[in-house]
Amino acid sequence: MSPLGVAIRALSTGTGLLIVGVLVMSLLAGPSDKPTARAWQRRLATSTRWLAALLLLSGVAALGWQVTVVTGRADSLARGEAWLRLLGATQYGTVWLLRHALLLLMAALVLLREREESRADWLAWRIEAGILAAAGIGLVAWAGHAVSVDPGRALPILVNAAHLIGVGSWLGALPALALLLRTASREDGADARPFAVIATRRFSSWALAVMILIVITGVWNTWNEVGGVPGLVGTDYGRLVLLKVALLVPVLCLAGWNRRSLLPRLSGDGAAVGRPAMRRLAGFVAIEALVGAALVVVAAVLAVTPPGRHETPLWPFSFRLAPDVTWNFPGVKTQVLIGSQVVLVGLLALVAGCLMRRGRSLWLAGAAVLLVAGAQQALPPLAVDAYPTTYRRSTIPYTAGSIAHGQELYRAQCASCHGPAGAGDGPAGAGLTPRPADLTAPHTNDHTAGDVFWWLTHGLKQGMPAFGATLSEDDRWDLINFLRALSAGEAARRLSYLDEPERPRLIAPDFTLRHGTRPGPASRSTAGASPSSSCCSPCPRRGRGSSSSPTRSASSEASTPPSSRCP
């Protein structure tokens, strides 16, 4: 990640957002016959020309920077074939060409526009330029993370495009609004004060609707590109998303306060109420714009950071919420029920505090207390221990060869304590307190493969030694694969005679068939009623619902990778 590359991307993105916002603000304000308002509109029209030129230049700079990134050499900037190869052989180049074709049309429309002799002329070029600028911003989504995370689907791209256009029509309009308010708050701008009040009210309503769109699409994009809470708090991409949220929340609070407190005062007495309120509002809008610029920089860093869904999370907490594990523990349901009811009362108090004018602070304080108390009651019973590697994904496939190697490692390193069959009955563990864990028991499924990897690497305080220095990382994953197969084989003993294809019970590893000297295709199946499909486990039961045949029956999850959870 280069600061220069981030700066170029932020400049290109920010300029595109500004053009969209300037045109939106101009259309929201509308034409006027007042000298100050007309001067403001002329300044906006002039700024669109400079912004259009800057957008095209920054786009060329971004393309040049991408050439150096793709080739890995700075001298590629002087090689025309490198530019042509990027433009003609990559999706980035195709999107760049289409986007800048639209932006060239917009620039021509802005630079070569004729006189505004009628209202239709005034509206025409602004609407047309706004549509072209919005399309140019939206096309960025076709070369972003939405494509790499979920290739082949149009919905993530369209949602991301709507998010970008919404940000432009809100954030890009803030500097223009601040300029109008500052100009109209002066004594010599009195003729534009009614115009500024109307424009601000229109923008306030517009911004409320657009912000709802931004929040909805932003949450959807985050979930699609991060993949869940582990990716949100455990990857660089997720932490950057949280930084964006941390910057956006104060802006939303400030905007809400402006809407409630300053907006109604704009039409008050000019010298005593209206003008001071307008000056304050102009300053607050400028602060929003500055925070928005920081958001653009963070978004530029996000654009060159691998999505959280593609990274292995490093879990930062010592616990995780696992209701699927703890739900049937004694007393958990009761505690969660009580805590959830307290949270519900707190939410009702929060709504009441937002709607009522009298005693609002008391209602909100009570709501905060109830929400915290309810969460403290309901969440701890659902928590289990967690480690930095809890959500780490295995680097070794779940194959028969890996399981066989893991079985050898288990016999050499683990069987003395955990027993030859993993039942926790090894001779070396007889005097330990507590006794070594039964690795075939159902509780094994309560832990992720990352939990087991952490224990193998760092050991346990209860007497289990650390193997991080004696076993390589691949060896540890092989051992985990064997433990998964061992537990799966034991789970097969509890299979009933009822066939449940939608609930696979036994995950078979990948393996390779050989016919003579020629290797056959690799295969994997997930059997719901064939316990013998585990290559390292003998058939635990014969009869209805089980089979001793080595034939593997395909199921609806035959192509699904094994679960990341320990067996």
Q: Which of 507, 480, 457 is nearest to 396 (CA)?
A: 480
Q: Which residue has the higher pLDDT, 471 or 426?
A: 471
Of 169, 243, 200, 121, whose CA–CA distance to 20 is shortest?
Answer: 169
- φ/ψ of 519, rounded to 5, equals -70, 140
Structure confidence at residue 124 (pLDDT): 87
Strands 383-385, 319-321: pairing is: antiparallel
Q: Is 265 helix (H, G, I), strand (E, B) or coil?
A: helix
Q: Round to whole Å and give the CA distance between 168 and 165.
A: 5
Read off the pLDDT of residues 7-61 as tens digits, 9 standing for 90 and up.
999 999 999 999 999 999 999 999 988 999 999 999 999 999 999 999 999 999 9
Which pLDDT band, with edges at 50, 70 and 90, does 361 fall under?
Answer: confident
Burial of residue 20 (CB within 10 Å: 0-12, 13-18, 19+) is buried
Distance CA 144, CA 134 (A): 16
Q: What is the mean pLDDT of the chain?
A: 84
From CA 391, how far away is CA 277, in angstroms rounded? Answer: 52
How far is the C-alpha of 334 from the C-alpha of 343, rounded, in Å? 14
How far apart, in Å, are the Cα atoms of 409 and each of 125, 376, 415, 420, 472? Answer: 73, 43, 9, 12, 11
Q: Furthest-apart CA pair in the chain: how many Å?
A: 97
Cis status, amide bond into 465, omega within 30 of 0: no
Model confidence band, residue 514 (pLDDT cutoffs 50, 70, 90): low
Q: What are 453-507's pLDDT values in tens digits?
A: 999 999 988 778 899 999 999 999 999 999 888 887 776 666 566 655 555 556 6
135 three-state secondary structure: helix
Question: Residue 504 has what pLDDT?
Answer: 54
- Report pLDDT for 13: 93
Contacts 24+ apart (CB under 8 A), 518-522: none
Q: What is the pLDDT of residues 259-291, one digit of tens each?
A: 888 888 888 766 777 788 899 999 999 999 999
5-18 pLDDT, tens digit per residue, is 899 999 999 999 99
Task: Give first-to-last CA distance, the chain, whole Å.
Answer: 38
3-state secondary structure of 70: helix
Q: What is the pLDDT of residue 358?
A: 81
- 317 token code pair: 């907490």
- The pLDDT of residue 2 is 82
**pLDDT for position 367:** 93
CB 389 within 8 A of CB 449: no
Instruction: Pick from 52-56, 418-422, 441-445 the range whose average pLDDT is largest.
Output: 52-56
Sign of CA dihedral 332, 334, 336, 339: negative
Which of these, 561, 562, 506, 565, lies nearest to 324 by C-alpha position? 565
Residue 559, pLDDT above cutoff 50? no
pLDDT score for 438: 85
Name the more confident of 281 and 554. 281
HSE value, Cβ hemisphere, 13 Å, CA-based, for 501? 6
Q: State the average pLDDT over residues 210-238.
A: 93
* pLDDT value for 370: 95
- Summarised one tens digit per residue, pLDDT across range 145-202 is 888 887 778 899 999 999 999 999 999 999 999 999 999 988 888 888 999 999 999 9
